[in-house]
């Protein structure tokens, strides 16, 4: 029985050690003792380190190895094998070796060591000699305190520049096409959920499109704030144990590997302890979420009905809307995007609080910050793509309902203000509403204008300004 247990033990586990002592590690995994301790000590929740951070660390460790070799503090053979393993990580070959949760040490030290251990163990499997050490080689010229914030900026930049901005631009282009298509359709406006002066459907949509133009601009401007990286500051910002010029060399290598411009932070003490750049960028992302929520709500109001709501536009019927009411179809894409936007707003509060809570030379809420940041970027990217494909691209005007609502609008009387004054125009509107009459009938009845004057002035097509 004891022999069977020992055989089973040998098949499933191996012994790794760190400065605390020995520990059993799964035999089929490349991580080491510190990763295993984190797994056992932090069984908190289900949120794992985001895939974007795993990719970012692979870029970072490869760039650091190359920079260390250029500065003659790392052997070429070690640089080559570290680079090879990082490429394997980027290709997904080593997925399953990065199991740590978000709620661990606030500096991300255990995730940094997770990478150091995986790269070293896999690298030694490839080398079969002249072994590399997770701290002495893979982590050379680095500290968790400067690698994790650097990985945060790499991951955030890629998520925003390559994905979020693309999704926003595609949604913007879809709205621009609708804006052009419907610029000539005159409809009633609404302010305070009450009837207002007319505009065109294209003008209404242009407001949505312009929101995205502005949001894209806000986000693009803030990319500069997360292009600075902490790498080279090591433990407290002084650069202890890193060669002179390492920060500039590694920033150039990360730029080359990722295709995005990164520069060394001018003040490493700032870079280690402040997360202001990520707070600012997420603020721009929150602004996008706020405008998207407004757009989604406008769309579902305008599409409400189909008979007892506003019903001025139709949206695609993607799925049945009720398990009991036959034929009901709901604005589900609007609802999904709305929930995404609320999640982003909640994430923003978490990020702001977490960024304010570091002490002295280090922020120790970094895993939480980047988890929420990347979740926001990912959700908004997916949400905008889904909203565009399954809703916006299929928006169509309901011309009959638009005309019906426009003809009934009392606010067309606004055009008479310059001719008869505000109070007289208000008298027409109130009397027409109270007696269920048309504006024209009341205006003529009160003798305030002639029929020809009314027809000339109260023309919705002339009231929409620059519509083309």
Cα-to-chain-centroid distance, residue 326: 37
Judge contact between 134 and 32, C-beta under 8 A. yes
Query: What span, in angstroms and rounded, lies between the C-alpha atoms of 423 and 429?
Result: 10
Provide the 3-class DSSP secondary structure of residue 409. coil
Handedness of CA 406, 411, 416, 417 (dihedral sign): negative
274 is catalytic: no
Judge contact between 457 and 416, C-beta under 8 A. yes
Q: Per-residue DSSP letters for 183-221?
A: TT-EEEEEETTEEEEEEEHHHHHHHHHHHHHHHHHHHHH
Query: What span, in angstroms and rounded, lies between the C-alpha atoms of 426 and 416?
Result: 10
Query: What span, in angstroms and rounded, lies between the C-alpha atoms of 124 and 43?
Result: 29
Query: What span, in angstroms and rounded, lies between the C-alpha atoms of 141 and 65?
Result: 9
Task: Specify the DSSP class assigned to residue 50.
Answer: P
Judge contact between 96 and 117, C-beta under 8 A. no
Nearest to 354 by CA among 103, 57, 48, 49: 103
Task: Classify 145 in phi/psi space as left (phi over 0), alpha (psi -120 to 50) or beta.
Answer: alpha
Provide the 3-class DSSP secondary structure of residue 362. strand
Query: What span, in angstroms and rounded, lies between the C-alpha atoms of 368 and 83?
Result: 28
- How many angstroms separate the Cα of 327 from the Cα of each of 159, 314, 317, 331, 396? 40, 15, 10, 13, 19
Query: Between the CA atoms of 448, 453, 455 and 458, what dihedral angle is there, to the nearest 10 degrees?
Result: -70
Q: Which of 322, 338, 356, 433 is catalytic?
A: 322
Query: What span, in angstroms and rounded, lies between the C-alpha atoms of 268 and 265?
Result: 6
282 is catalytic: no
The residue whose two tokens read 């520049």 is: 161
Q: Which of 192, 227, 356, 371 is catalytic?
A: 192
- Strands (DSSP E) contained in 133-176 are none
Catalytic residues: 192, 322
């Amino acid at each position: 029985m004891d022999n069977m247990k020992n055989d089973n033990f040998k098949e499933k586990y191996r012994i790794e050690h760190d400065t605390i002592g020995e520990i059993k590690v799964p035999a089929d995994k490349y991580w080491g003792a510190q990763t295993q301790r984190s797994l056992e000590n932090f069984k908190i929740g289900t949120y794992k380190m985001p895939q974007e951070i795993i990719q970012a660390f692979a870029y970072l460790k490869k760039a650091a190895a190359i920079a260390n070799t250029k500065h003659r503090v790392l052997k070429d053979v070690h640089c080559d094998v570290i680079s090879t393993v990082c490429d394997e990580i980027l290709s997904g070959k080593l997925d399953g070796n990065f199991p740590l949760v978000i709620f661990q040490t606030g500096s991300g030290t255990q995730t940094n060591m997770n990478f150091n251990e995986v790269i070293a163990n896999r690298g030694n499997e490839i080398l079969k000699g002249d072994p590399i050490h997770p701290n002495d080689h893979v982590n050379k010229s680095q500290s968790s305190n400067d690698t994790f914030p650097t990985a945060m900026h790499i991951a955030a930049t890629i998520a925003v520049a390559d994905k979020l901005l693309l999704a926003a631009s595609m949604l913007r282009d879809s709205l621009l096409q609708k804006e052009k298509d419907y610029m000539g359709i005159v409809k009633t406006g609404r302010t305070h959920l009450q009837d207002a002066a007319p505009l065109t459907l294209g003008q209404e949509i242009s407001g949505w499109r312009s929101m995205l133009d502005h949001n894209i601009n806000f986000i693009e401007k803030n990319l500069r704030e997360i292009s600075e990286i902490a790498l080279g500051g090591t433990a407290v910002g002084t650069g202890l144990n890193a060669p002179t010029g390492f920060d500039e060399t590694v920033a150039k290598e990360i730029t080359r590997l990722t295709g995005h411009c990164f520069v060394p932070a001018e003040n490493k003490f700032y870079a280690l302890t402040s997360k202001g750049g990520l707070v600012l960028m997420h603020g721009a992302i929150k602004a996008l979420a706020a405008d998207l929520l407004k757009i989604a709500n406008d769309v579902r109001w305008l599409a409400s009905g189909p008979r007892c709501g506003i019903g001025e536009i139709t949206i695609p019927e993607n799925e049945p809307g009720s398990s009991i009411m036959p034929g009901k179809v709901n604005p589900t894409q609007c609802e999904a995007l709305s929930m995404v936007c609320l999640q982003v707003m909640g994430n923003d509060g978490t990020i702001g609080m977490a960024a304010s809570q570091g002490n002295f030379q280090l922020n120790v809420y970094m895993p939480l910050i980047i988890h929420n940041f990347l979740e926001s970027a990912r959700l908004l990217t997916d949400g905008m793509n889904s909203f565009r494909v399954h809703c916006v691209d299929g928006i169509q005007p309901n011309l009959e309902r638009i005309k019906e609502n426009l003809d009934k609008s009392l606010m067309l009387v606004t055009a008479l203000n310059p001719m008869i004054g505000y109070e007289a125009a208000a008298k027409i509107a109130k009397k027409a509403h109270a007696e269920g009459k048309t504006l024209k009938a009341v205006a003529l009845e009160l003798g305030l204008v002639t029929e020809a004057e009314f027809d000339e002035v109260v023309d919705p097509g002339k009231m929409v300004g620059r519509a083309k």
